[in-house]
Amino acid sequence: MKTILYPGSFDPVTNGHLDITKRASRIFDKVVIAVAMNAEKDPLFTPPERIEMLQEVVRRLELGNVEVSMFDGLLVNALAQFQASAVIRGLRAVSDFEYEFQMALMNRELNDKCETLFMMPSPEYSFVSSRLIKEIARCGGDINPFVPPFVADCIRDKFSKH
């Protein structure tokens, strides 16, 4: 039974994250999407809100071997917590590489068993990021092409209260 851990801020989850999740779910027995509790300094959504959105979209996609959870502290410790064999991260473009490479090697320095695997999302998501989606929504732009409808509603709801 191979479990893979897919960690991130997911503030909020995007179609790009879901593309990676679907691809990983076809390869591994179990995918655990792990929301980092304290990764973002000034998040739009609380960790429970991010988990709720992820759970809802995973349920709607009928991905039976995908679970959503959260972790606090170091990623290398979360790997053991979820009995995962490795970490998966998405690489959208070369610009992601430096940060990801550094993080993967640092995690392996902290725990020699912590391997990181990279997957490329479909090119149509190569420019999609949670940060840009929040900025577009804040300025009243159309975010529908980049996030699932349920998430788009949650984002609009958030900004209508801000």
7 binding ligand PNS? (CB under 6 A): yes
Please state, in angstroms and rounded to a whole number, the distance separating the CA atoms of residues 5 and 33. 6
**Whether 126 is catalytic:** no
Binding mask 102-131 for ligand PNS (x = CB under 6 A): -x--xx------------------------
Selecting among 50, 89, 130, 134, the annotated active-site residue is 130
Give CA separation, 107 vs 24, 114, 121, 158, in Å: 20, 6, 23, 34
As measured in angstroms, the least distance from the Cβ of 66 to ligand PNS is: 17
| Three-state secondary structure call for residue 89 | strand
Closer CB to ligand PNS, residue 39 or residue 86? 39
- DSSP assignment of 96-157, as one string? HHHHHHHHHHHHHHH-TT--EEEEPPPGGGTT--HHHHHHHHHTT---TTTS-HHHHHHHHH
Among 39, 70, 120, 136, contact with ligand PNS (rule: CB under 6 A): 39
**What are the backbone angles phi and psi of residue 57, rounded to the nearest 5°?**
-70, -35
Token readout for 132 is: 């840009």
CB of 114 to ligand PNS, least distance (A): 9
Minimum distance of ligand PNS from residue 105's CB (angstroms): 8
Residue number with CB closer to ligand PNS (104 or 136):
104
Residues that bind ligand PNS (CB under 6 A): 7-9, 36, 39, 74-75, 103, 106-107
Catalytic residues: 17, 41, 92, 130
